[in-house]
Structure 1
Amino acid sequence: MKATIWHNPNCGTSRKTLAILGERGDIDIEIVEYLKTPPSVETLRALYAEAGLRPSEALRLRGTDAEGRGLTQADDETVLAAMAGEPALIERPLVRTDKGVRLCRPQDRVYEIL
């Protein structure tokens, strides 16, 4: 099985999710450090559609100015553009496997797609 994780190594939940993937031993893991390599609007749109999430549901509020910028009430395209331009606004970790995409908060949500 192949898995891609949009990962922040400074995030405990992201590290725990990556550890779950690594423990399996049968998963080819691609790690995308999204703060260094931000996903495009198109990539984010596709990930959230696969996960069944609106972009605003995957907006990181803690430690960001998302609320102050009105992003919690903004339309999807505005939120996606903000996330692509400032990847710290992306809630993490996102994981994609052949079985789907999950925003793995808490980290045990990753089991749904393994």
Structure 2
Amino acid sequence: MEQHIKILGWLYVLLNAAFAIFGAITILGGLAAGVGSSIQNHSAGGLLASGFGAVVGAFLLIIGLPGLILGYGLLTRRSWSRILGIILSILELFNFPLGTLLGIYGLYVLLNQETVALLNN
């Protein structure tokens, strides 16, 4: 079961890193659009682009960070990662089709008694 914990941790890191990276890039892009527009005296368009970039970027970061934190917790065998993993795996069940598979696999790994013993040390 130890190998399954590592696999699940890496799956969460890899699948959620994209959301976090795109979120940060979108925030930076929105800020750059706002600065560029304000330099050219198009303040209304810059404000709109900057605000939109910040909102979309923050949303993507909010979606990606819990999975990254979970992946870190599983890879370093933190006791709190089991509860967070169960919660995120249940939420992933609604993300058809890949999220459903990840959620089922996550619940299989995290609800196993051997995993409970490994993560509670």
Q: Fold match, TM over 0.5?
A: no
TM-score, with length taken from structure 2: 0.24
TM-score, with length taken from structure 1: 0.25
Q: Which has the higher helix share?
A: 2
Flag the structure with larger Rg.
2
Q: Which has the higher strand share?
A: 1
